[in-house]
Amino acid sequence: MRTATTRPQPPRPLPPSVRALRRTLRGLPGKLYDVAYEPGLVVPAADGSALLTDHYLPARDRKQAPGDFPTVLIRSPYGRGFPWAPMFAVPLAEQGFHVVLQSCRGTGGSGGTFDLWRNETADGTATVAWLREQPWFTGVLGTTGPSYLGFTQWALALDPPPELRAMVVQEGLHDLHAYFRPGGTFALQNGLTSAMGLTCQHQGTLPFVRATARLQRRFPAAARTLPLGDAYVPALGTRVPFVDEALAHADPADPAWRGADAGAAAESASVPTCLISGWSDVALDQTLQQYERLRRAGCERALLIGPWTHHSLLQRGWPQVFAETLAWLRAHLCGDPSGLRPERVRVHEGGGSATGTWRDLADWPPAAPGRRWYPAADGTLSRADTGEAGAPFATYRYDPADPVPSTGGPLLDNTAGPRDQSALEARDDVLTFTTAPLREPLHVRGPVSVSLRAAADTGHADVFARLCDVDGQGRSVNICDGIVRLPPDTTEPADVTVAMSSTAHCFASGHRIRLQVSGGAHPRFARHTGTGDPLATATRLVPAEVTLHHPAALALPVTEDGESGDDGKA
């Protein structure tokens, strides 16, 4: 382990494993420079802990390059090997960037204790202070990285150093409470999967593979065992403090969550920021929330959303994602805007054709009139609101002993994305409301929501809502969804709005719009036990009968090119 001031002469060639993995990547630009690296540099954290850091640098004629290249900082709790070295560090260094790849405190050999979110601002600032002392650092800095690496970027941007000129946040998080506790529930499947990655991936390939296998083997039992605060432990192999805190503290104002939301960095941002996500990405809502904040702040920004999940964005989507990343960094760190798109926003619009269509837009969301469709007792969904205010029109019984299963959507496994909903919609505890076949295509671009008046006979329940596209053969496929927990003791009808994320989707002519309503999506979300008992310690399961009352309305942002035929009439 070397000190921060020790530099090998000359830098080492890349390890054979990294070179081999880099050669497997397809669709990336040809290299401009050979790459060398300095592994295991020690950067002092804010508290003096040693942050292990690898430095990848461009080399001319296989020799060390002078310090005339900008720097890209990547701070990760997942280790510094795959995929960060071959997919991020080496390709960027090949294009003429110093890349500083660092393990967060308490991970990947770095000193101290990893404490989810609490040290990232201070340690990022300390790393920039170290960079200022390096002879190759030009004072021009960018950042990039996906998932929790997005949080480390936003944490640094809360008090951005003057050297920070650009950020590229790929499928990034900024609010850990919203991630673990969406809509007042607990993100059981994604939460435990993330916890496994955060606690094991930085330990190396074999420990990570073993932890993944253990979670897959033991998760089904954990998801159906009470109390949940104990049941999850065998699946992860250990008790994880931040999982315990997430289970125990539902309120984002609770002191336990202090510092977990770095979203304010975008509210007064001046650092040009490119945001990248997918329509089935677990971080989509957070990406769009930050884009809106950047828009209000007048910050230079760009947005790319593809037909990707959290994992496929880094797989089949990677050539396009890397090209977007490289263009943004070149524009703002190197003064070369030639690779930027003419329009600020590019989104993939699903439906309409087998492969969908890419759309370039001036901004997001585009100007679109809100249109409403109203569910009725006969299972129809129409533009005419014929319901009598206050009258009940639908009821479902949610039994936590036989919870409604999750089918597709934003998940962290290979079941994510659009999926056939036929088996799910055949259940008695899943309500569906469907339009007549559309006469013309209908284009929806922007946030989707449903407003409901709901009551539970026990006073305790969740409401899950999903927008689906039903084709001419009757196959129903999910587009976007959301969940909300009813206020405690809601035995009388209460107004709730289920934010169902956002989409860009074309309902083809002859297709039908479907609204799906149920009591949950398990094990994506922890089942509501039907009681007011704390989630971590609840041991009772009580079925709930949930009744929907008028008024209720599905709100869709319909674009101008979808004006005709949007009434859902046959």
Distance CA 81, CA 21 (A): 10
Place of tokens 């201070």: 122
| pLDDT, position 235 | 97
Our measurement of the distance from residue 226's CA atom to the centroid of its chain's CA atoms, rounded to an integer in Å, reads 28
Which amino acid, one-letter code, is at 149? L
What does pTM read for this prediction?
0.94
Task: Using DSSP, state whether 400 is helix, strand or coil.
Answer: coil
| pLDDT, position 10 | 65
Which residue intervals of 278-434 are DSSP H helices? Answer: 284-297, 318-333, 422-425
* pLDDT tens-digit map of 65-105: 456 899 999 999 999 998 999 999 999 999 999 999 999 99
| pLDDT, position 562 | 39
Task: Using DSSP, state whether 237 is helix, strand or coil.
Answer: coil
| pLDDT, position 67 | 66
| pLDDT, position 561 | 61
What are the helix and strand counts (H, E) for the chain?
12, 22
Angle between helices 205-223 and 228-236 (to 10 degrees): 150
Cβ–Cβ under 8 Å, residues 407 and 488: no
Which residue intervals of 186-270 are DSSP H helices? Answer: 188-200, 205-223, 228-236, 241-248
Residue 521 half-sphere exposure, CB side, CA atoms within 13 Å? 28
| pLDDT, position 242 | 95
**Tokens of residue 478, six digits:** 């999910």
**Tokens of residue 392, six digits:** 């009940």
| pLDDT, position 356 | 87
Domains and CATH numbers, the chain: 1-139 (3.40.50.1820), 140-173+262-341 (3.40.50.1820), 180-257 (no CATH), 370-562 (2.60.120.260)
Distance CA 472, CA 496 (A): 32
**Tokens of residue 544, six digits:** 């709930």
Q: Is 533 exposed, middle or buried (0-12, 13-18, 19+ CB in 10 A)?
A: middle
Q: Is 332 exposed, middle or buried (0-12, 13-18, 19+ CB in 10 A)?
A: buried
Of 546, 465, 543, 539, residue with least CA distance to 499? 465
Query: Per-residue confidence of the chain (570 residues) as pLDDT tens digits?
Result: 444 444 445 688 888 888 888 888 888 999 999 999 999 999 999 999 999 999 999 986 544 445 689 999 999 999 999 899 999 999 999 999 999 999 999 999 999 999 999 999 999 999 999 999 999 999 999 999 999 999 999 999 999 999 999 999 999 999 999 999 999 999 999 999 999 999 999 999 999 999 999 999 999 999 999 999 999 999 999 999 999 999 999 999 999 999 999 999 999 889 999 999 999 999 999 999 999 999 999 999 999 999 999 999 999 999 999 999 999 999 999 999 999 999 999 999 999 877 889 999 999 999 888 899 999 999 999 999 988 999 999 999 999 999 999 999 999 999 999 999 999 999 999 999 999 999 999 999 999 999 999 999 999 999 999 999 999 999 999 999 999 999 999 999 999 999 999 999 999 999 999 999 999 999 999 999 999 999 999 999 999 999 999 999 999 999 976 333 333 333
Distance CA 552, CA 101 (A): 50
| pLDDT, position 5 | 45
Distance CA 247, CA 154 (A): 24
